[in-house]
Amino acid sequence: MQQIRAKFLEDDRRIQTLWFQRWNVEKGWPIGQQQITLIGSEIPRLIEFLNSISTVHIPGEGTFNVDFGKQVHVPDEAARNPSLHVRRN
């Protein structure tokens, strides 16, 4: 059985470094030497990406690209307010 193990270091309630690696549960040690390490601003970018996945429109079974930089979260109340809508001429 395998799992992904995540370890992190925090300082002042902020995660500074985050490690991911494959782990063998039965033997209790890592599988191979591969790991992913995220530091500093990479961590909130990963969190933002993961949170954005649930809002992506998936057009079909084929592959497609998403530009997360163009997606904007608008609270429901603001989306229903016509005075906040963008008007195009």
pTM for this one? 0.54
CA 46 to chain CA centroid, Å, is 4
Using the predicted structure, report yes or no on whether residue 89 has a pLDDT greater than 60: no
Q: Hey, where are the domains in the chain?
A: 2-84
Q: Are 54 and 47 in contact (CB under 8 A)?
A: no
Amino acid of residue 20: F
Answer whether residue 27 shows pLDDT above 70: yes
Average pLDDT, the chain: 77
Tell me the pLDDT tens digit for each residue of 61-70: 888 777 766 6
Q: How far is the C-alpha of 27 from the C-alpha of 20, rounded, in Å?
A: 18
Q: Give which of 75, 12, 4, 15 is closest to 45, Cα–Cα.
A: 15
Mean pLDDT of 12-24: 85
